[in-house]
C-alpha cells in the first residue's frame, strides 16, 4: 500500500498523471469512522494534569470520544479540557455490578435486596471458568429484571449528567452474568407470566426472549430519564459476547452507539472470518429498530498475556470494521496498551491521529 501511494505521488509530482489522484485508501478509510471512542481503565484520574494528559492522548491517537469512570472531582476538571479539544465524554455507569460496591452519587444508591439469586450448585458452576471468552466475575449482581434496578440505573445516569456535565452515559456491566436465569421470586413469577403468554415458545426461547425484553426495558428506562434531563445527551454501551443465544443484540436497544463486540480480548483470538462476519451483522442490523443508531464495532485490547494482540492483528480488526462500513468504533482495555509503540502507532494511523507522545503515553500512577 505504501509503495502504491508513493508511485501515485511521484506520478502526480512529475505531471505524468493528468487525472485527479484518488485520496490514499488509508486516509479515505480513516475518514469513514465518524465516532471513535477510547474506553480505558487504569489511567491516573485525579489532577488537572491527568485530565489534560487524558485528552491529549485521546486526540493524538485520533479518537473523538472517551468513556471515563472518573469521580466527581476529576470529571469537573476533565470536562473543560475535553470541550477545548472537541472531545465527547461519556460517564461510565456500571450500575448492575457490585464487586467493588454498588455505585453511589449524591443521594442515589442501589436498591436494597435487589441482587440476582441462583441455587448454590448453579452459582458454584457459574463461578468456574471453562471458556477463555467467558470470564468469571464474582457477584453481587443486580437483578436487572426488576423495575427498582432500572430506576437506580436511570437515577444514577441523571445524577452523572447533572454532576459532571458530560455529553452522555456509557452503560456497562449489563448483559453479563446478570443477563438471564435469575431465580429471585420476582424473576420467577414474571418469567412464568411471560411463558404463559407465549405458549408457542420453548423453555429456552422463553429464557432468551424474557431476558432480552428485560434488558431492553433497562436501557429504555435510562434513555427516558437521560433525555428528560438533557435532550441532547447520548447513550453508548458495551454489548458483551456473553449473551450466547444472541451475542449481537445491540440493534434491539435504544442506544445511539451500542458498541458490539466484534473482536474480543482473549486468546485464542477469534478467527478473522468471525470478526468480519460480526462486523457484517452489526452493519446489517444497525437500523432494524432505531433510525438513530450507528453500527459500532467494539474491539477488546489488553496487555495481559492471555489477551495481548500484535499491531498487525489490531490493524486487521480495525480494517474489518471499516470494510463492513461501520461508522462507530470503540476500543477498550487496560490503559497499558497505550504505552505500546506498535499498537498506538496502528491506532493513530487508522484513526487519523496526528502526534505521537511516546515514550510513556501513560504516566506512572
Q: Which residues bind Zn ion (CB under 5 A)?
A: 143, 145, 182, 184, 187
- Would you say 143 or 318 has its CB closer to Zn ion? 143
For the CB of residue 46, give the shortest distance to Zn ion in the complex, in Å: 37
- Would you say 184 or 217 has its CB closer to Zn ion? 184
- Would you say 29 or 184 has its CB closer to Zn ion? 184
For the CB of residue 188, give the shortest distance to Zn ion in the complex, in Å: 8
For the CB of residue 277, give the shortest distance to Zn ion in the complex, in Å: 33
For the CB of residue 169, give the shortest distance to Zn ion in the complex, in Å: 23
For the CB of residue 280, give the shortest distance to Zn ion in the complex, in Å: 35
SS3 per residue for 310-353: CHHHHHHHHHHHHHCCCCEEEEEEEHHHHHCHHHHHHHHHHHCC
- Between CA 120 and CA 307 the distance in angstroms is 31
Query: Residue 53 has which C-alpha cell?
Result: 494528559
Write the DSSP symbol of residue 26: H
Query: Residue 361 has which C-alpha cell?
Result: 503515553
- Between CA 31 and CA 85 the distance in angstroms is 18
- Would you say 126 or 184 has its CB closer to Zn ion? 184
For the CB of residue 183, give the shortest distance to Zn ion in the complex, in Å: 7
User: 311-323 and 25-32 are packed helices; what angle lies between their axes, rounded to 10 degrees?
Assistant: 70
User: What are the Cα distances from residue 233, in Å, to 68, 349, 359?
Assistant: 15, 30, 36
- What is the three-class DSSP state of 136? coil
For the CB of residue 194, give the shortest distance to Zn ion in the complex, in Å: 13
Please name every residue paired with 141 in a beta bridge, in sequence order, or none if there are none. 97
Specify whether the CB–CB gap between 291 and 218 falls below 8 A.
no
**How many other C-beta atoms can be found within 10 angstroms of the C-beta atom of residue 122?**
12
- What is the three-class DSSP state of 97? strand
- Would you say 187 or 242 has its CB closer to Zn ion? 187
- Would you say 89 or 143 has its CB closer to Zn ion? 143
- Between CA 191 and CA 186 the distance in angstroms is 8
- Would you say 66 or 182 has its CB closer to Zn ion? 182
Amino acid at each position: 500500500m505504501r509503495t502504491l501511494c508513493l508511485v501515485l505521488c511521484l506520478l502526480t509530482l512529475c505531471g505524468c498523471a493528468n487525472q485527479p489522484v484518488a485520496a490514499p485508501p488509508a486516509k479515505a478509510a480513516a475518514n469513514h469512522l465518524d465516532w471513535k471512542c477510547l474506553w480505558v481503565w487504569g489511567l491516573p484520574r485525579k489532577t488537572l494534569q491527568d485530565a489534560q494528559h487524558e485528552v491529549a492522548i485521546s486526540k493524538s491517537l485520533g479518537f473523538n470520544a472517551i468513556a471515563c469512570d472518573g469521580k466527581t472531582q476529576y470529571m469537573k476538571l476533565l470536562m473543560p479540557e475535553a470541550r477545548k479539544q472537541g472531545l465527547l465524554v461519556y460517564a461510565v455507569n456500571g450500575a448492575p455490578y457490585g464487586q467493588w460496591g454498588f455505585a453511589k452519587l449524591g443521594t442515589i444508591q442501589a436498591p436494597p435486596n435487589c441482587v440476582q439469586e441462583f441455587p448454590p450448585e448453579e452459582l458454584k458452576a457459574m463461578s468456574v471458568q471453562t471458556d477463555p471468552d467467558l470470564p468469571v466475575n464474582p457477584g453481587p449482581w443486580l437483578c436487572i429484571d426488576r423495575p427498582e434496578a432500572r430506576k437506580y440505573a436511570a437515577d444514577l445516569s441523571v445524577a452523572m449528567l447533572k454532576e459532571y456535565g458530560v455529553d452522555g452515559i456509557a452503560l456497562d456491566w449489563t448483559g453479563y452474568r446478570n443477563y438471564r436465569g435469575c431465580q429471585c421470586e420476582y424473576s420467577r413469577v414474571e418469567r412464568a407470566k411471560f411463558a404463559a403468554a407465549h405458549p408457542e415458545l420453548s423453555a429456552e426461547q422463553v429464557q432468551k426472549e424474557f431476558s432480552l425484553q428485560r434488558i431492553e426495558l433497562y436501557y429504555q428506562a435510562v434513555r427516558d430519564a437521560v433525555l428528560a434531563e438533557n435532550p441532547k445527551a447520548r447513550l453508548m454501551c458495551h454489548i458483551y459476547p456473553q449473551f450466547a443465544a444472541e451475542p449481537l443484540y445491540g440493534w434491539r436497544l435504544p442506544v445511539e452507539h451500542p458498541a458490539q463486540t466484534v473482536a474480543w480480548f482473549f486468546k485464542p483470538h477469534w478467527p478473522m472470518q468471525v470478526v468480519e462476519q460480526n462486523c457484517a451483522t452489526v452493519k446489517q442490523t444497525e437500523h432494524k429498530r432505531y433510525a438513530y443508531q450507528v453500527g459500532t464495532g467494539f474491539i477488546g485490547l489488553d496487555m495481559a498475556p492471555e489477551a495481548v494482540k500484535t499491531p498487525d492483528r489490531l490493524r486487521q480488526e480495525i480494517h474489518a470494521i471499516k470494510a463492513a462500513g461501520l461508522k462507530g468504533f470503540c476500543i477498550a482495555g487496560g490503559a497499558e496498551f497505550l504505552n505500546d509503540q506498535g499498537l498506538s502507532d496502528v491506532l493513530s494511523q487508522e484513526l487519523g491521529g496526528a502526534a505521537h507522545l511516546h515514550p510513556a503515553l501513560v504516566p506512572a500512577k
